[in-house]
Amino acid sequence: MAADLEEKTNRYGELLAEALEEATIAPPEGTPMAEAAADCYEMAASYLDDGNHFREQDDLVNALASFSYGHAWLDAGARVGLFDVPREGHLFTVE
């Protein structure tokens, strides 16, 4: 079971890192929506940092939770139009 947790933690960490690379802020700069997008992006990036810290401490449960929360911030933002993201593939649930 520990091997499954490690594999899933690594997979979700990679997913979040890749999603952060692909997501770009969609609303025009200087608008309230662009500010909201920047806040969501910052939250996702912070959760990636937190997850990496937890993984370094061998706390895989909290690392996985952090990676999952971070990706949720990005995915939700993409669904409401805060981010331009790839529409195909495994990174986001938007169609």
Question: Where exactly are the structural domains of the chain?
Answer: 2-84
Least confident of 2-6, 20-24, 49-53, 61-65: 2-6
Residue 34 pLDDT more than 90? yes
Q: What percent of the chain has pLDDT over 70?
A: 98
Please calculate the CA angle 82-86-90 and round it to the nearest 5 degrees. Answer: 115
Long-range CB contact pairs, 30-37, < 8 A, 24+:
33/81, 33/82, 36/82, 37/77, 37/82, 37/83
Residue 2 pLDDT more than 80? no
Please give the CATH number for the structural domain made up of 2-84.
1.20.1270.90
Residue 64 pLDDT more than 80? yes
Residues 6+ apart with CB under 8 A from 13: 48, 51, 52, 55, 63, 67
Structure confidence at residue 1 (pLDDT): 64
